[in-house]
Every structure is written in structure tokens, then in C-alpha cells.
Structure 1
Amino acid sequence: MRHSPGPRILHVSRPVEGGVAQVVTDLARAQAATGADVHVACPDEGMLPRVWDTADGGVRGHPWTASRSPGPQLAAEVRDLARVIARVRPALVHAHSAKAGLAARLALRGRVPTVFQPHAWSFEAVGGVTAPLTRCWERRAARWTDRIVCVSEAEWITGRRAGVTGAYTVIPNGVDVARFAPGRRSEARRRLLPDSFARAPLVVCVGRLCRQKGQDVLLRAWAAVAEALPGARLVLVGDGPDAAGLRDLADTTVTFAGATDDTACWYRAADVVVLPSRWEGMALAPLEAMACGRPVVVTDVDGARESLPPADRAHALVPPSDPATLARALLALLRDGPLRAELGRRGRRHVLDHHDARRTASAIDAVYRELLGPAPTTYPATAKYRECTTT
């Protein structure tokens, strides 16, 4: 008996690196595995196009020329995306992040069921006269949006407070709990770091080197950590526009590892993982780190509180842009091995229970079914994982 094909879905994304690109990659692959006809439109650069380069991935790609920010080129970008949409003829378009949400909704204007996922609101990322303009756009664009998907309750509240009305669904981010699983710290360090790091207290920050992720705040905090705990080391994993300026702030206890596809190994090498963001929807890096059994310290921005086990918030949450409090939180964990181990165990269990990527894919599928009405799909279990020791 033949099964009817799943719906034709077009994901549109301007971020081609980092957390948004990973969310789109995981979601597209999960949907393709259930039989959906999945397409992705994005610039032909960075990590995201790899989702259609994989021979057995079942995802079809469509290069879309688009810059990171709106500007004089926007009209041409909208026309280019409209041509992609005309070729694909999707049953539903799912636009990810601000730029894709802007271009897709201008191209479609409600003619095709449209899901918009902000992954942190655009008006949080800008200041001056630009902020009210972006708020005004999001309010107007809601009329061309069948569903706004927020990755946290806090992100939903932020949107509502800004006057963005419409139909919302909150679906927390998820991670691949097979790929991000505990492993031996010593083994990870041997693979990644010189011998001098073997026993060093090690803090790792994974994220794009940009203002949003707050590595400048971390480096100001790190001076106090390094002074109080000689021998401690900090590794920044990632690349981005602020790399040169951050290097100017760093001392010899800080290592810039650059971008990598194997972030899981860096999490396993760490004693503590930190993400001092200025704004988020719900960051992936802390979820990935907890899935690897590592304690985290994060700033109390949208999604952070919801991503943590409630019992861990006293140890893991700090105010944004507060180097002194961040330094104290890092020192407290670096000095307390049993606490780190307990937080790591609780974090792993929390991610398994609440942030498995299969749970996220199933929830997105439910939104699609509300809009399109196809039969439900079943997301297959990921490969079995083996819990490893973390010594």
C-alpha cells in the first residue's frame, strides 16, 4: 500500500550559520525523514546549504541571494525569493529569523500559509530610530502570518508587549540528544588542546563572535577569574565580525578556536560552558552543553530561564552585561567539582525530558497540520546513545 507524499514545505532562512541554521537543518531533515517534500531557500554559503548537499538527506535546496540586513537591495531580494517560491509551489512557507521573515512575507502577502519563527525579535537587536521601525513592521506583517512560532514563553511575551498580535505557538528549541551526549573530558581535551590544558580549569563559550553573544562582557569578567584562579583557561569557539576587537581585549589565558562543526567535543572538554548573550529567543548552545552533561552559566535573557532545570537557576543565571556577577558565578562553579557534576547530570536529564529535537519537530508538525490538515507524522527515534563517564 503506497503512502501519499507529505506536504511540500519551503523553509526560508537568511542566517546560514549558528543556532538558527542548526534549527533549520535539524527540522528539515526530520521532516524529510517522515516523507514530507522539504525545500530550503537560503544564501549558498555557510553551514545551512549542507542540508541539501547530503546525498541521503532528502532535502532540496534553492540558493537565494540575500544580505543580512534590510537596505536598498531588499526589493531585488524579495523578487528573487518570489521566483524561488513560484518554482517550488509550496503548500506552506516557514520563514526563520527577521530577514527571511521580512522578505518571505513581502513576497507572499498571505497567498500561501505562512509560519514565521523570529528566533529572537529583530527590534531587540537594534537601537535608535530603527527599533520602532522594526516593531512597526512586525505589527503590520502579522496580518500576513498564519502562525508565529516562538521558542520560549519569554519571547512570546516580548512580542505581545511590542504589539505584535496574531496566532502564536510556543515551541521550545530542541537538540539532537544522540549527537550531544556525555563523553570523557580527558579524551576531548587530548583531541582539541595542548597537554598544558589537561588539568586546567576550563571554561568554553560557543557562539558567533558578535555583539549579541556578549563575548566582550565575558572577557571583562575573565580578567577577575584568571586573577582569582591562576591556571584557568577560557576558549572562545566560533567566528564572526567582532573577532578582531575581542582579540584585543583578551589576555594569554584566552584561546580563540575558530569555527568548527564538532562543537560537542568542545562541550565535553569543558568544566563549565558559558553564554553571556545580550538577547536571545532560546539559545541552542546551553541546551547542547547540558545534553553533554556540562554545567552552564547564561545571562537571564529571553528563553534562558525556561531552558534550565528550575533547581539550577541560582547557579546558572546572571544578569546580562554584568561582568562582576558573571565572574563570581564562573568562579563558584570552577571551585566546586561535586556541584558541577550534579548540575551536569540534572542538565542532561532536563534536556532529554524537555528539549529533544524530536519533540520540537513533532510540535512543528502539529502547527502545520492545523494550517494544512494532513495526517500526523511519526518522528523516528534517533540512534541509541551511550551514557559515558565524564572524568
Structure 2
Amino acid sequence: MRALNYLELEGPLQRSGWGTAAAQQRAALADTDIDVVTSPWRDDLLSTARSIAAGDGAFRDFDLAHCNAPGPGSLAVARHAHRSGIPLVLHAHMTAEDFGESFRFSSEIAPLLKRYLRWFYSQADLVLCPSQYTKDLLEAYPVDAPIETITNGVDLDSLAGHEKLRGEYRERYDLDGMVVFALGNVFERKGLTDFCRLAESTSYDFAWFGPYDTGPQASSVVKRWTQNPPQNVTFTGWVDDKRGAFGAGDVYLFPTKNENQGIAVLEAMACGKAVVISDIPVFEEFFTRGEDCLKCSSRAEFREALDRLSDDPALRERLGKNARETAAEHSLKRVGTELSRIYRDVTV
């Protein structure tokens, strides 16, 4: 089988969770007998023009289309798939709920986005999403297509050797002691204000590894905190090697308001870090309070959890050990097995 695994705007989205998820899908499928192409278009403008002139169209040949973003390129693929009788899989990495509090005006746009996503996802022969929580949201929109869950997974190989980068990254960003950290795009939806307020109330070094917007699309909250952070908070911007973040940090803090799964949480767990996360429904599916993480519902609880972990290194070690076992359940081997089975089922 030849499958299209497509992420439009792949360059800009490379630094996003969508980019990570698509890259992990392809890495997982590399160990299966699925032949993967990543672009729907002919190789270059000339060959595409020749193909169109010959009546063959602008699209490559593939037996199944799997799109990871809800944009115009994916719409074109969807139309081609419908015309050609090619099975169409759409991956729901985005919901209206997790779009809010991301960019300037994103919360105002979210209700309109919900209507668009309902229409877009309903075109699929099958919708994939990373959690039962997300599936329930989509069914309530309602999306008029079958929906199945599949973990985003975690690429263990991409994290190998993170320990060796500890000294380099702690020195680079002037970090000391028990370092509380986050990884990923800096959004208010991911708990930015709580992250900074918690830093203000403690003496620990806090570091957020990841890019943040500074242009007109940036939210006022992101601009305020990144331009005038608390004295013990470092916003690193984009880091070329995410292993450095996991090497430098000790406690992964994620006071997020809404997630569809949380790839960075799985990565922190795979690195054996103690994880402190929001007590929200999606995390109930994957993580167990007191065994592989600590869950909190308020700043006071987050502060208490950080202090406990500072005072009790044995607790940090136990949570980290159990977290590694949890992350191992989301291996790319599992993703490849499930995704290849899904591809075959939808083409029957």
C-alpha cells in the first residue's frame, strides 16, 4: 500500500505538536510495509504541468490519504480523494477548545473554527484523534464521520543522550538547583500565567524551553510575561535540541487548561522526570495521580507539589521511574502497528 501522510505548511509547523505527531507517524510507519509519501503533489512545477497537460492531474499516486492539518492543501487532497475514490483519513490535532488562548483573538475565533472543523472532519472516511476526551468533543460537535483514537506516541530514540546535555544547558541558561521547566510553544492556554505566578511565589529556577510570538499575532498575555518575566523565569526561545531541555530540567510543570494528549508530557516521562500536571479530564486517560505524576487543580496545589518534590528527592525518583514505564506504553512500535492496521481497515 502507498499512503500519503501529509502535513501542509510542514516547515512552519515543524516546531509544533502537529509537526512532532506527523514526524512520529512517519517514523513509526518506516518499520512497517506501508510505503509512505509526504507530499500529494508532483515533484516539481514542470512535471506537474506535464501531468496536468496529459490529463493525469497535479496529484501523485497513492492508495490512501492521511492529512494532519485542516488547511487548504488538505482540502484539495480531500476533494481529490473523493473524486478518485481514495480513502481519506483526517487527523484531529486541533479542536476549537484547544485553539482558544493561543494567539491574539484566538478565543474570539474559536466558535467559528468549531463550525469549520465540524464540516472539515465530516468529510473523512475516518477521523483519528489522540484521546477519548477529544473523540467525545468531536462527537458532540457533531462530526459526521467514524472516529477512532490512537496515541501520538513518543519517540524514545529522539531523546537518547539527554543526560549528557545537562551541564551545557544549565550553564547556557544560568540554571541551578531543582529546575522547574516546560517545553513547547508559549501560550496562555498552556498555563503561562500560572507558570509565572508560581515562579514568583518560589525560589526555584523556572525555564520554559520553546518559541514565543512577538509579532501582531502574539497575545497580550504572552507579550507581557515574555518581555517582563519574573526574576527566576527564563524564556529560552526555540532550542535546536529538545534533549537539552530534558537534560537541564528536574520537574516538568504543565499547568495547561486544555490538551488533546500532551506529547511533551510523554517526552518528559520518557526521560524519567517528575511531572506535575493539571487535573483535567484528558490526563485521566493516560496518567495516574501519585504513581507517575502529581495532579493539581489550583496554584496552591501546584506550589505544594513543587515543595514536596524539592524536599523529597526519593519521591522525584519514584515518580520518574514509573513515568518511564508509562511512556513506554506509547512507543512508536505501537503507533506503527495501530496505524498500519487502520490504513488497511479503511481501504477494505
| TM-score range relative to shorter protein | 0.7 to 0.9
Q: Give aligned-pair identity as a percent.
A: 23
TM-score normalised by length of structure 2: 0.80
| Corresponding residue number in structure 2 for 1:224 | 201
Partner of 1:19: 17
C-alpha contact 2:7 2:68 (8 A) present in aligned 1: yes
CA deviation map 1:18-43 (0-9, x unaligned) = 2210111122233245353322249x
TM-score calculated relative to the size of structure 1: 0.72
For 1:166, which of 120, 145, 170 is the aligned residue? 145
Q: Does 1:361 align with 2:340?
A: no
Aligned to 2:47: none
Q: Following the alignment from structure 1 to structure 2, what is the Cα–Cα distance between the partners of residues 61 and 260?
A: 33
1:103-137 CA-to-partner distances (Å, cap 9, x unmatched) read 35664473331111112413542476644433333
| Secondary structure of the corresponding residue to residue 235 of structure 1 | strand
Give secondary structure in 2 for the equivalent of 1:268: helix
Residue 350 of structure 1 corresponds to: 326
Tell me what 2:88 maps to.
114
- Where does residue 371 of structure 1 map in the other structure? 346
Unaligned runs of 5+ in 2: 45-56, 101-105
How far apart in 2 are the matches of 1:120 and 1:28? 19
Aligned length: 321
8 Å CA contact 2:32–2:336 kept in 1: the answer is: no
Q: 1:128 to 1:203 in 2, by over 3 A?
A: closer
Q: 1:31 aligns with which of 20, 29, 36?
A: 29
- The verdict on how the C-alpha distance between 1:90 and 1:257 changes in structure 2, with shifts beyond 3 A counting, is same
> Deviation digits for residues 325-360 of structure 1, max 9, x if unmatched?
3333222222221100000000001111x2112211
Pairing 1:288-327 to 2, within 5 Å after superposition: 288-301=267-280, 303-309=282-288, 311-312=290-291, 316-319=294-297, 322-327=298-303
Equivalent residue letter for 1:189: R
CA 193–323 in structure 1, closer or farther in 2 if over 3 Å, else same: same
1:279, distance to aligned residue in structure 2 (A): 1.9
Change (3 A) 1:195 1:107: closer
> Retained in 2: the 8 A contact 1:98–1:122?
no
Q: Is the 8 A contact 1:110 1:145 kept in 2?
A: no
1:137 equivalent in structure 2:
116
Change (3 A) 1:123 1:195: closer
In the superposition, relative to structure 1, how do residues 148 and 301 fare at CA in structure 2: closer, same or farther (>3 Å)? Answer: farther
Q: CA RMSD in A?
A: 3.2
Q: 2:180, 2:42 → 1: CA distance?
A: 37
Structure 1 residues not aligned, in runs of 5+: 1-5, 43-59, 64-84, 227-231, 374-391
Q: 1:87: which partner in 2?
A: 59
Give me the whole-angstrom Cα distance separating, in 1, the residues matched to 2:43 and 2:147: 28
Change (3 A) 1:128 1:244: closer
Inter-CA distance 164–264: structure 2 relative to 1 (3 Å threshold): same
Query: Given that residues 119 and 282 in structure 1 are in contact (C-alpha distance below 8 angstroms), is that contact kept between their aligned partners in structure 2?
Result: no
Task: Output the CA distance in 2 between the equivalents of 1:117 and 1:223.
Answer: 39
Question: For the residues of structure 2 that align with 1:237 and 1:26, how far apart are their CA atoms?
Answer: 20
1:277-296 CA-partner distances (Å, limit 9, x unpaired): 23221111110010001111
